[in-house]
Amino acid sequence: MDSIIATPNSVSSDNAQKRRTANYNPNIWDYDFVQSIQSKFVGDNYQRRAEKLKEDVRHTLIINKNEMVTLTQLDFIDDLQRLGLEYHFEKEFKGALDALISIIYSSGIIDCNVHATALCFRLLRQHGYFVSQDVFNSCMDETGNFMTSLSQDVKGMVSLYKASHLALEGENMMDKAKAFYSRTLKDLKENIDPYLVEQVSHVLEVPSHWRVQWWEARWYTNVYERGEHINPTLLELAKLNFNMVQVTHQGELKEIYRWWKNEGLAEKLSFGRHRIVECFLWAVGIVFEPQYGYLRKWLTKILNLILLIDDVYDIYGTMDELEEFTDAVDRWDDKKIEHLPEYMKICFVALYRMTDEIICGIQKDQNREIKTHLKKVWTDFCKALLVEAKWYNGGYSPSLKVYLDNAWISSAGSILLVHAYFAVAHEMNDDEVGFLETNQDLLYYPSMILRLCNDLGTSAAELERGDNPSSILCYMKEAGVSEERAREHIKGMIVESWKKMNENCISYSSHLPPMFLNISNNIARVSHFVYQHGDGVAVQDRETRNNVLCLLVQPIQLHLDETHSIYC
């Protein structure tokens, strides 16, 4: 159970009282350290070199619609995507995929090669094209199972295992592929080349489709460099691009850190989690492309306030105060908050001002009323947190369904998605403004994955503190099973939610900007990333610290013996 302390600088003296605390460790990222981060990858020389490399890659990518797509070209497209370079070649990328789908529709498949078939299937589905699972019929035996002879083709097995995570509901063939190749690849790990072992371990740990794209770009650049068939131009561009984008991210982080320090929230709200660097890392996971800096900065501020408000409801506020704060957010009037305690006034004013800033930034280019929609997601979030606070204070243990009906909203996924939607969906008509409200599944499934990943990563610590029950505890009590069985059940729910998201990517590809659909997937992906090894927000050391250093601080080393003069 929690220790009980008073935090006098967070409440007025006449209202000071004993309150709960989560005993969060202090923020490890010093302001001066963040402001001192430097990189040499700035200047026109690097930019000119990158443009030259991009032009060389562009020529390789151009594929005519009626031209046969070779396995070499497919691998090149996949490498380009995994190295974090796709956004530079959107037109060429779409042309290549259009050519690929034309071949699928005309001849069924491009090649009898299992790797080629699986890669083709995965690339197309990732980008909203529908391809039937029947393309794998040639891989099945007379009993309807995958042929055991395929286990001799490690590369093909890895590709098919990756493709299986693009499955839709009811695609039993893809479920069989996942189960069969998961077992087979685990058994093979000790008997194959170490270079392949690394890749097999990587994909079995977290499926490629579930991984944060920018972290995958960093990891895969290192793997690609050690491969047998590297393209030197692509490798150099990947390294240079990562380092130049990292410079952009570093500048944004410094700006955000200055905002955070000027707001003084760490001093004014000392009971909460102050994880501005981790919030920015989360935002990078959602959208890493350099042109979306405005959205990254907004998402970082949003995430920071989500954490603080969550701590108000989970840890610090009394029930009377929480009722008042929820009502204040619902009324959304910064002139009528005198009745709130001081620490809640600070939270509300920060939320109100930040939302106004975002609205002004979005509506600068759009004549649309979006305040109602942004206000609604914050109100729904606070109301969901209030429900959980009432459960805790009343000692109520909900069923799994009752818990999740509320918890997908308290995950705050909807807040991130709605803000991102308005930020990237330009020139919307009146129908499109309310599109997410009439298509709730677009909000529900990413939010559900966020909630379930959060519970898997944080339930042990929350249970120790005596916080609200998680999905794991709810299912343990409801089904009378062990924690291990409950965790497996929750993991199964995540798999099913991903199937629905895969379906959405195809169903809504003609209705929504591709960038928004990618952001929707990325919110689910960053959930796996943040909570893979525990609570990657509250706990800043170990994996979280390494992730910050790798993605935001340390560049990829370039070997420039032959081309050094180009950069000087």
pLDDT of residue 425: 77
Cα–Cα distance for residue pair 122/160, rounded to 1 Å = 9
Q: Residue 112 pLDDT more than 90?
A: no
SS (H, E, C) 405-427: HHHHHHCCHHHHHHHHHHHHCCC
Q: Residue 203 pLDDT more than 50?
A: yes
Cα–Cα distance for residue pair 272/9, rounded to 1 Å = 13
Confidence of residue 10 (pLDDT cuts 50, 70, 90): very low
Paired tokens of 425 = 């969906």
pLDDT of residue 6: 31
In this prediction, residues 445-473 reach a mean pLDDT of: 84
Confidence of residue 26 (pLDDT cuts 50, 70, 90): confident
Query: How far is the first Cα of the chain from the last one, in angstroms, to the nearest whole number?
Result: 60
SS (H, E, C) 298-353: HHHHHHHHHHHHHHHHHHHCCHHHHHHHHHHHHHCCCCCCCCCCHHHHHHHHHHHH
Cα–Cα distance for residue pair 376/359, rounded to 1 Å = 14
Cα–Cα distance for residue pair 318/514, rounded to 1 Å = 43
In three-state secondary structure terms, 7 is coil
In three-state secondary structure terms, 488 is helix
Confidence of residue 520 (pLDDT cuts 50, 70, 90): very high
Question: In this prediction, what percent of the chain has a pLDDT beyond 70?
Answer: 88
Complete DSSP assignment for 38-98: --S--SHHHHHHHHHHHHHHHHHH---TTSPPPHHHHHHHHHHHHTT-GGGGHHHHHHHHH
Cα–Cα distance for residue pair 227/244, rounded to 1 Å = 24
Confidence of residue 483 (pLDDT cuts 50, 70, 90): very high
Paired sense of beta strands 19-20 and 4-5, if any = antiparallel
Q: What is the DSSP letter of 146?
A: B
pLDDT of residue 391: 94
Q: Are 178 and 162 in contact (CB under 8 A)?
A: no
Q: Are 337 and 394 in contact (CB under 8 A)?
A: no
pLDDT of residue 435: 77
| CATH of the domain spanning 44-237 | 1.50.10.130
Point out which residues pair with 140 in neighbouring strands.
146
pLDDT of residue 71: 83
pLDDT of residue 15: 44
Q: Residue 65 pLDDT more than 60?
A: no
Instruction: Give CA separation, 371 vs 124, 132, 378, 422, in Å.
Output: 36, 41, 11, 11
Question: In this prediction, what percent of the chain has a pLDDT beyond 90?
Answer: 61
333-355 pLDDT tens trace: 888 899 999 999 999 999 999 99
For residues 426 and 480, which has the higher predicted lDDT (pLDDT)?
Answer: 480
Of 273-287, 368-382, 461-475, give the lowest mean pLDDT range: 461-475
Cα–Cα distance for residue pair 222/268, rounded to 1 Å = 43
Confidence of residue 140 (pLDDT cuts 50, 70, 90): confident
Instruction: Give CA separation, 71 vs 88, 225, 522, in Å.
Output: 22, 20, 28
Phi, psi of 140 (to 5 degrees): -100, 150
Cα–Cα distance for residue pair 225/231, rounded to 1 Å = 9
Domain residue spans of the chain: 44-237
Q: How far is CA 495 from the centre of its chain?
A: 15
For residues 382 and 367, which has the higher predicted lDDT (pLDDT)?
Answer: 382
Confidence of residue 208 (pLDDT cuts 50, 70, 90): very high
pLDDT of residue 367: 58
Most confident stretch, 95-104, 355-364, 399-408, 450-459? 399-408
For residues 479 and 62, which has the higher predicted lDDT (pLDDT)?
Answer: 479
Cα–Cα distance for residue pair 23/343, rounded to 1 Å = 18
Most confident stretch, 140-144, 401-405, 423-427? 401-405
pLDDT of residue 166: 97
Paired tokens of 147 = 């042929």
Paired tokens of 183 = 């077992």
Q: Are 42 and 248 in contact (CB under 8 A)?
A: no
pLDDT of residue 536: 75
Average pLDDT of the chain to the nearest whole number: 87
pLDDT of residue 433: 63
pLDDT of residue 467: 61
In this prediction, residues 316-332 reach a mean pLDDT of: 95
pLDDT of residue 540: 65
